[in-house]
Structure 1
Amino acid sequence: MKLLKFGGTSLANAEKFLCVADIIEKNIQNKKIAAVLSAPAKITNYLVQTIDNIIKNDNNAQNINIAENIFLELIHNIKKIQPYFCYESIVKLIKIEFKKLKYMIDGIILLQQCPDNVRAILISRGEILSVLIMKYILEARKHNIIVIDPVKNLISKGHYLDSTVNIPRSKKIINKINTTHADIILMAGFIAGNKKEELVVLGRNGSDYSAAVLAACLNASCCEIWTDVDGVFTSDPREVIDSYLLKSISYQEAMELSYFGAKVLHPRTIEPIAQFKIPCIIKNTNNLKSPGTLICEENKTEKNFLKGVTHLDNIVMFSISGSSIKNTLSITGRIFTAIAQKKIKIVLITQSSSEHTINFCVLENYMNSVKSALTEEFRLELKEKILNPISIEKELSILSIVGSYIRMKHNIASKIFYILGSSNINILAIAQGSSQHSISMVVNKKNILNAVKIIHNTMFSNKKIITVFLIGIGGVGSTLIQQILQQQNFLNEKNINIKICVIANSKKILIVNNGINLSCWEKEFKKSQEQFSLEKLISLTRKHHFLNPTIIDCTSDQYLSEEYSAFLKNGFNIVTSNKKANTNNFEYYTKIRKIALNTNKKFFYETNVGAGLPIISTLKQLLNTGDTVIKCQGILSGSLSFIFGKLEEGVLLSQATKEAKNLGFTEPHPADDLSGIDVARKILILAREMGYHKELKDVKIEPILPQNFKKYQDINEFLLKIKDVDSYFVEKTKKAQKEGKVLRFVGTIDKKGQCTVKIEEINITDPLYKIKNGENVIAFYSKYYQPVPLVLKGYGAGNNVTASGIFSDLLRTIS
């Protein structure tokens, strides 16, 4: 005997009803099939709402008519598809049932209350009618059907709205039913009967529970739960994109997952199948090809001992404490007893060894009941101040990691703590050891989705994910996208997943939460009509809890750079080629670093100084290893390196500047390069990295061009006027060459920390002598590197090297 159970979404319309009938038929292979059915989707909700509306003095019983029309439309559509379906007979039966329901509703309206026994009858009509419809479908297909009445055959005890079945007694009754003439057994889910043979319902997920009970009563070889998901996943796939389907899990693992929030099965469903060792398979009526998940006594197919990450929300934590608690006998027992009398379950409990503090968690909707029960129980202790006032912490969630004998794995807890700690997620309480198969911890509800994603990503998928918010798609930004696209295969081999979810410029923004298709991003960006705003970036990450969210700033925007502190506070890493933040006032410079340190976020800006050259990281390594930089000197502008190299070759300044602009070496306006301010910013950044408290005004700039050139804002006019100084630079170049020297635009930090930026004559022995054609160079003279300096050189301009430097910084965010 195999038992099949079908949920409401599997019976939502005529096509789905007939699909369920097909599944039942295909499972008949020389053995009988039993099927338990829920009400069609939404029916129970309409029936509940009808009652609730009346009790709230809203006598509108329209929902009952909606429910009736759903059934009538359902069977009307079945008639169109299923031959020999007894449509007229079932229409009469449905109308009779709803006539009875409406009569009951009239009584509720009159009394303005609904007794629980009446409520149970009303809310269970959907299941009874589902069985009736399925019986007629299968009989139309020439099958012999027997319907088990759960009221007479499932004997239960408890409340009308939340009963528990006595399986041994029910089994004896069901075994007396003669089923020899039938090949299919049908039963309505959710329903049972009490000792008075009154209808009762089985509470939350009651249909699944009654299916497990019937499987035990019939000694079924297997129980299949058909629903609208493929099976049990390592986490909720709606929350964690990288979650994957588990082939199998043990009863104990399934129990832990369901107890702490997994919604595929309720713990009550697992108890009967585990007790009677009945294999259970979760399958999907919307995806018949999916193998589903097997729940069995011993899990043999899953290699990974970890099975899932789940969470239970809307938790409150009570703390009972006091220096005299240790002298009060049975304090823990009294807590349990007081709460048990209210029929409330404690979800998690932790206790200090000395019993000075006891923390326990319950669902939030029980908070007031628990508080009143404890206040009454410990009235004297609270009055005499033997106990401190009862503390309640709200807005909490419980995060659980489930796996086979997880408490035996020596490094799991420490790994979890490290992962959450690195993400600034505080653990308020932990329970480990009480279960062999799970570790549970209490965290703030606002952090729970982020915690689940981080734990799952680190411990299940082994993927290093970076979620990128790219701002600025000029030459550097566009090149960076192309470089990331070209490296996809390499990144996949290294288990690195860079998801660019946002691409923006100053005017508009493209957002794709699961990652933009980089092969056609320009086309998609042009289609986007959404205006750009910084607030959208922060609200996006709060809403979707992206993993490792990272702002990449490829602009030179001052306002954007002033928002770095807000980005860091809201959980972003920052990778930037924009020098404005690091050359803002020193107070802001230090503020960014303090926030990054306190939030444990990365702030990388290698391209601020040398494009793709590792100048800043090299300087930090020197300082971190105890070296002292005495002096540094460099050519830190690719555009000026190119221009002054061309002067050496006899090219006029105006022509060299024009060439540099055409090659993309300069800023949009070449005046920004020739003013020396760009090099001054780079020197300021290096000085600050070396520990000098400097402002931009402290960098002495000897400009290349006369002051009156500042007025030429038009680029073409500027390039025309620059010809006026060509002759001056021809003479200056020749003079240097006569002395065996070359002209270079040099930034210097001397041993006193003085910063200068100016044209210098460089002799042939200097490391700066041969630097031209867009190259950059920095020479560090230090305690360890003298008289021969540590020299870094390479291209310091161009989209490719700058984008490469940003790419390198981006990968460092997951180191």
Structure 2
Amino acid sequence: MTWSVLKFGGSSVADANLWKTIQREVQVKLDQGHQPFLVLSALKNVSNLLEALLHQALAGVHIKAIFQLKELHLRFAAELGVNGETALQSYFDDLTDFCDEIYRQQTVTPKQHAQVLACGELFSTVIGASYLQNQGINVFWMDCRAHLIAHNNRDLDEWHHYTSNQCDYSEPLDAKQMGCQSDQVVITQGFIAADEFGDTVLLGREGSDTSASYFAAKLRANQLEIWTDVPGVFSINPRDISEARQLSVMSYRQAELFSQSGAKVLHPRAMAPVKEFSIPVRVKSTRLPENPGTYIYLDDCAASVMGIAIEESVTWIRANHLSQTTVEQLLALGFDRIELDLSNANQCLLLYRHTEKHQPEDDQLSQKYGVMLESCYTLITLLGSTHDGQWIEDVKAHMSSQWKERTLACFTNKELGIMSILVNPNCSAEITQQLHRGLIEENELSNEFGLSWSSIVSES
């Protein structure tokens, strides 16, 4: 029997009505002779509540917050006909112990940060497994930390070790190793893993996609399905521009670049494992399960410009000689590097991700590290054809004539088919709308796009 890995995001997992869709998709896979392997995120917004809980624990006011979090999960479990009190009590006891320790120590270590945030996925998978079991499906609940082990990367600082680690996926995994039977549906957690010492680590916010990809690779699965609240990958975030067009197909390479550039539908690290083992990926919506979504495999989307991604609150660093040591010191403060080839070793783009500390002042960092450092910019990245770079020249000419005074920097790589434009945030929305309208909405010659988001919504 071959494995089929399905990842369900927080919006899907948190809606009791959508569990009928999840159950139906599991049954479809079983009927097709596949063994389903489900990777679940925490309920929508629970990770944010757990981050807030860390600060409430410091102040010693966490008991009420934990009670409210427990009530939220018990109400949801009841909607699914699950006795949450029995299923979840031990996990909430652990959460209370974690918070009590934070209050006693009066500090939140990266290790404690990971322990607390991991609870969200443990809660959701326990409820989900109980629901499917009640529906007559033979379920095997698994703690993913037994099989996803983070790299022993000694270059990682403590914050990134515990909150944004990566795992080895080369060693195969089978049912016998997991302890499950061939007729069981496996349910496990996204976002979390363990290090070599057994400590809980996280894979970065929204890292459940990567968890699913790791497991697909280790299981040598025949497919990976990522189920979210939008039907596939769109040319731009449809919540920002309703005329965003659905992408029918794209390659692993394009999906990885798009997510690294700021597109939120997939995690940036999710493509490498499935690409290595040539496992096809389909991105679909639990709200519109009949929509085919986006198919990700080997072939590029051939549109001149296929998508635009936005990254906000970007920090731009420049120096006459920007050393790798300086960059690593900044990363250790809680910055993440935007992984784009800027074709200039003396500058880089960072995002501040540390949720336990305020971002240091620009002037303070500039003086300390001897660099020019400016924050709060917006990066607009266009992804297009690698065969014909004329689109890059056309966009350059347009930006020069229309937005020259607002363009701070422009980075291009024709070999990758990518162009990134750094602008002030007060004009980013207008620039983005203009570029999307001219390059994608009005491109009637391209058959690489599906329907617009507005059309899909109106037809549903």
TM range (shorter): 0.7 to 0.9
| 1:339–1:370 contact (8 Å) kept in structure 2 | no
State the 1:377 CA deviation: 6.0
State the 1:2 CA deviation: 1.0
Q: Out of 97, 100, 104, which is 1:106 matched to?
A: 100
Is the partner of 2:407 in helix, strand or coil? coil
Q: From the superposition, tell whether residues 404 and 252 of structure 1 become closer, same or farther in structure 2 (CA, over 3 Å).
A: farther
| 2:261–2:338 contact (8 Å) kept in structure 1 | no
Aligned to 1:274: 275
- C-alpha distance in 2 between matches for 1:418 and 1:373: 35
Q: RMSD between aligned alpha carbons?
A: 2.8
- C-alpha distance in 1 between matches for 2:168 and 2:203: 12
Is the partner of 1:238 in helix, strand or coil? coil
| 2:40–2:125 contact (8 Å) kept in structure 1 | yes
- C-alpha distance in 2 between matches for 1:214 and 1:348: 26
| 1:310–1:399 contact (8 Å) kept in structure 2 | yes
State the 1:296 CA deviation: 1.1
Aligned to 1:419: 398
TM-score, normalised on structure 1? 0.49
- C-alpha distance in 1 between matches for 2:173 and 2:89: 35
Instruction: State yes or no: 1:315 paired with 2:314.
Output: yes
Q: Out of 65, 68, 71, which is 1:66 matched to?
A: 68
State the 1:444 CA deviation: 2.0
Aligned to 1:401: 382
| 1:419–1:454 contact (8 Å) kept in structure 2 | no
Aligned to 2:265: 264
Instruction: State yes or no: 1:345 paired with 2:367.
Output: no
Q: From the superposition, tell whether residues 253 and 348 of structure 1 become closer, same or farther in structure 2 (CA, over 3 Å).
A: closer
State the 1:246 CA deviation: 0.5
One-letter code aligned to 1:421:
S
Aligned to 1:297: 298
Spell out the pairing of 1:130-141 with structure 2 (5 A cutoff). Answer: 130-141=124-135
Q: From the superposition, tell whether residues 15 and 463 of structure 1 become closer, same or farther in structure 2 (CA, over 3 Å).
A: same
| 2:4–2:35 contact (8 Å) kept in structure 1 | yes
Q: From the superposition, tell whether residues 114 and 317 of structure 1 become closer, same or farther in structure 2 (CA, over 3 Å).
A: closer
- C-alpha distance in 2 between matches for 1:393 and 1:213: 36
Aligned to 1:363: 351
- C-alpha distance in 2 between matches for 1:133 and 1:400: 39
Q: From the superposition, tell whether residues 181 and 207 of structure 1 become closer, same or farther in structure 2 (CA, over 3 Å).
A: same
| 1:50–1:62 contact (8 Å) kept in structure 2 | no
Instruction: State yes or no: 1:54 paired with 2:57.
Output: yes
Aligned to 2:86: 92
| 1:153–1:173 contact (8 Å) kept in structure 2 | no
Q: Percent identity?
A: 24
Aligned to 1:24: 26
Aligned to 1:496: none
- C-alpha distance in 2 between matches for 1:253 and 1:210: 20
- C-alpha distance in 2 between matches for 1:346 and 1:137: 40
Moved more, 190-199 or 94-103: 94-103
Is the partner of 1:27 in helix, strand or coil? helix
Moved runs in structure 1, 4+ residues, more than 4 A?
172-175, 346-352, 364-378
| 2:193–2:200 contact (8 Å) kept in structure 1 | yes
| 1:350–1:429 contact (8 Å) kept in structure 2 | no
- For structure 1, the 5+ residue unaligned runs are 80-86, 322-330, 379-389, 465-513, 515-815
Q: From the superposition, tell whether residues 49 and 187 of structure 1 become closer, same or farther in structure 2 (CA, over 3 Å).
A: same
| 1:151–1:193 contact (8 Å) kept in structure 2 | yes
Is the partner of 2:170 in helix, strand or coil? helix
Which structure's CA Rg is the greater one? 1
Q: From the superposition, tell whether residues 393 and 104 of structure 1 become closer, same or farther in structure 2 (CA, over 3 Å).
A: closer
- C-alpha distance in 1 between matches for 2:49 and 2:368: 39
State the 1:213 CA deviation: 0.4
State the 1:372 CA deviation: 6.5
Aligned to 1:444: 424
Instruction: State yes or no: 1:124 paired with 2:118.
Output: yes
Spell out the pairing of 1:662-673 with structure 2 (5 A cutoff). Answer: none
One-letter code aligned to 1:151:
R
Instruction: State yes or no: 1:142 paired with 2:136.
Output: yes
Q: From the superposition, tell whether residues 320 and 235 of structure 1 become closer, same or farther in structure 2 (CA, over 3 Å).
A: same
Instruction: State yes or no: 1:44 paired with 2:43.
Output: no
Q: From the superposition, tell whether residues 12 and 365 of structure 1 become closer, same or farther in structure 2 (CA, over 3 Å).
A: closer
State the 1:244 CA deviation: 0.8
Is the partner of 1:39 in helix, strand or coil? coil
Bigger relative contact order, structure 1 or 2, given CA contacts below 8 A and separation 6+? 2
State the 1:402 CA deviation: 0.4
Aligned to 1:520: none
State the 1:362 CA deviation: 2.4
| 2:304–2:391 contact (8 Å) kept in structure 1 | no
Is the partner of 2:327 in helix, strand or coil? helix
Q: From the superposition, tell whether residues 51 and 316 of structure 1 become closer, same or farther in structure 2 (CA, over 3 Å).
A: closer
Moved more, 258-267 or 95-104: 95-104
State the 1:463 CA deviation: 7.0
Alpha-carbon displacement from aligned partner over 1:347-372 (angstroms, at most 9, x marks no partner):
557578xx9xx443323679859977
